[in-house]
Structure 1
Amino acid sequence: MNHLIDVIISATTWVVPVLLAVTLHEAAHGFAAKMFGDDTAQRLGRLSLNPIRHIDPIGTILIPALLLITGAPFLFGYAKPVPVAFQRLNPQRLGVVCVAVAGPLTNVGLAILSILLMVWLPSFSPAVNDWLATMLNQSIWLNCILAVFNMLPIPPLDGGRVLTAISPLPIARVLARMEKTGMIILIGVVFLLPYVTEKLGIYLPIFQWLVITPTRELVHFLTAIII
């Protein structure tokens, strides 16, 4: 019973950070697209801060829940991508770049806000203080992980779309064709390959190299300039 209560309390410290992180990330893409002339997200009701409109059953609920239950050292998730008609953006290349970076920049902004709240929040009871500190600390790390992960230069991640937008046309066409297969390649290289090689006695912490280490540096940088 005590273990169940601990799990529930731990889950509550993740609910708000996860919902805010994925909701505002996706809404930011839609707002940026509208600024550059594409109102697709607005017409489909995705320029909303209502988390229900952005929740993906697998990415927003199942994957974070499994990571939490299995005691993973980090939490990760994603929302339903906001639809953007990139051909309607004007100017197109600048629009694609700004729409892509809007999500990760929003996550960095949320991490900064969480750091500020840790400094500015008044003192409550020890139990409440511990709960708030845990929630804000997890918000910092979650948002920084999302920012770093999404800026990996692999379509359909935001970093991949930036790379596509700034590449010469022949390269951009190749990258654009990776939109449908890029996530499969990413999962294979970042998650499945290390799992297989570990069984063979080879340690390849690719996620650590590509995401966790840069995230740690980003958290330390933001903390250093704010506190």
Structure 2
Amino acid sequence: MELSILQLVAVYAIPVILAITLHEAAHAFVASRLGDRTAEAMGRVTINPVKHVDPVGTLLVPGLILLASKAMGGGLLFGWAKPVPVIASNLRSPRRDMGLVAAAGPGANMLMALAWAVALRGMVAFDVGEEYFVLVAKAGVQVNIALAALNLVPILPLDGGRVLFSLLPAKLALPYARLEPFGLFIVLGLLALGLLGVVVSPLIDLGYWIVASLVFF
């Protein structure tokens, strides 16, 4: 069944807001546990979406992409929330802990993808739940895997770039960090050229394999 634009928004709104909100809350939570309470003091260790939602990045951009997907039959869901402030010098082991803080966001998305998949399996197995809830659960799996995969691309300032920076030896990490001012332009360039999906697809496939292996065994 092909969904209308309003139906698409109704199906994807909750998964998108939850995925982006809990992604940022996970960053803030892990940072607070590793010594930097900056985000915690700003109320960012919360599942309240108002604290995390960026009107453009969380609502407008994903909405426009959904509209484009409806019109053109494809597209990688893309969005962002208010950045979580992390002061590296407050962390116990700044370079290592920045990698852990960065990994927390995609990690939260994978946990959410698993949770949505468990709900989906339960609804299908026991033939319970309206079709709408089945579609929302499927969207929850899709959105969280896509967001985790996108953020794990090893380009600063994405989470994958910060994880890679924390793992590289110092003589390689410092030159790599100098690329950060150009990272967003690289990502947007890949998106504009239609190449971002090519880069992210292997990570998305891996995410689906993990979810399928753990939930649909």
TM-score by length of 2: 0.88
1:209 lines up with 2:198 in the alignment: yes
1:101 maps to which of 100, 103, 127: 103
Question: Please, which of 29, 36, 39 is the counterpart of residue 38 of structure 1?
Answer: 36
Q: For residue 222 of structure 1, report the CA deviation from its aligned partner.
A: 1.3
Contact 1:97–1:165, Cα closer than 8 Å, also in 2: yes
**8 Å CA contact retained: 1:76, 1:142:** no
> Computing the radius of gyration over CA atoms, which structure comes out larger, 1 or 2?
1
Alignment deviations for residues 104-154 of structure 1 (CA, whole Å, 9 cap, x no partner): 000000000011001223644xxx622111111111111111111111111
Given that 2:187 and 2:196 are in contact with CA atoms closer than 8 Å, whether structure 1 keeps it comes out as no
Query: Which residue, 187, 211, 225 being the options, matches 2:214?
Result: 225
Cα distance in 2, alignment partners of residues 91 and 178 from structure 1:
22
Match of 1:110 in 2: 112
- 1:63 deviates by 0.9
Q: Which amino acid aligns with 1:216?
A: D
Change in 2 beyond 3 A, CA 1:168/1:213? closer
Q: Equivalents in 2 of 1:180, 1:63: separation in Å? A: 22
Q: Which residue does 1:51 correspond to in 2?
A: 49
Q: C-alpha separation between the residues in 2 aligned to 1:73 and 1:155?
A: 23
Matches of residues 45-84 of structure 1 in structure 2 within 5 Å? 45-70=43-68, 71=70, 72-84=74-86
Alignment of 1:1-227 (within 5 A): 6-70=4-68, 71=70, 72-121=74-123, 123-124=127-128, 129-188=130-189, 190-194=190-194, 206-227=195-216
> Within 2, Cα distance between the matches of 1:32 and 1:42?
10
The question of whether the paired residues in 1 share the 8 Å contact of 2:152 and 2:160 is answered with yes
Residue segments in structure 2 that go unaligned for 5+ positions in a row: none
SS in 2 for 1:114: helix
Q: Which runs of 5+ in 1 are unaligned?
A: 195-205
Structure 1: distance between partners of 2:114 and 2:163: 23
Check 1:82–1:162 CA distance in 2 against 1; reply closer, same or farther (3 A cut): same
Q: CA deviation at 1:213?
A: 3.6
CA distance in 2: counterparts of 1:38 and 1:136, whole angstroms: 34
Question: How far 1:211 sits from its partner (Å)?
Answer: 1.1
Partner SS state of residue 53, structure 2: coil
1:152-186 deviations in Å (ceiling 9; x for gaps): 11100011011111222232222323333211122
Displacement of 1:218: 1.9
Distance (whole Å) between structure 1 residues aligned to residue 206 and residue 67 of structure 2: 27
Q: Distance in 2 between matches of 1:74 and 1:8?
A: 19
Say which SS state the counterpart of residue 84 (structure 1) adopts.
coil
Distance in 2 (CA, whole Å) between partners of 1:176 and 1:31 is 24
Identity %: 34
1: distance between equivalents of 2:112 and 2:95?
A: 26
3-state secondary structure, aligned to 2:137? helix
Tell whether the 8 Å contact from 2:76 to 2:197 is kept in structure 1 after alignment.
no
Task: State the secondary structure of the residue aligned to 2:193.
Answer: helix
Please tell me whether the aligned partners of residues 123 and 129 of structure 1 are also in contact (alpha carbons under 8 angstroms).
no
Paired residue total: 209
1:7 Cα deviation from its structure 2 partner: 2.1
